[in-house]
Amino acid sequence: MALSLNSELLLDGKIFLALCHSENYLLKIFNERYNRSWSLEKYEILIDECKSDNYVSIAFLPKTKQNVNGVPFEVPVKGIWENGPGIELYISLEDYSLLRFKGMR
């Protein structure tokens, strides 16, 4: 697993706690939406903070073997991605609740 932070982002206690909560949310989404799980070792994690709205965006992007014009690309086999789907979580920095999430292909 690789972690990438916005160049101006300081990984403070609140963001670290949001990152810790994000694993539970991610595994819950995997189980509820896909009925399976993928290893977090197959993901890169991007973190960005929205200070004005007091939340953090944590994107789990699957590592891929192929790039098409610089864009990561993977063909699913029978509708399943080898390294899992991309998921972006929006987590409150007040109570660490999941505000919303986006699934990515």
- How many other β-carbons are positioned within 10 Å of the β-carbon of residue 19? 18
How far is C-alpha 87 from the chain's CA centre? 5
64 phi and psi, to 5 degrees?
-120, 155
At 32-88, the pLDDT tens digits run 988 888 888 888 888 988 878 899 999 998 887 777 777 767 777 776 677 788 899
The pTM of the full predicted model, rounded to 2 decimals, is: 0.78
State which residues form the domain around 71. 2-104
59 with 91: CB under 8 angstroms? no
- CA dist list (Å): 103 to 7, 17, 34, 38, 86: 25, 22, 11, 14, 6
Q: Hey, which residues does 87 pair with through a beta bridge?
A: 60, 103
Domains of the chain: total: 1
> Which 8-state DSSP code applies to residue 75?
P
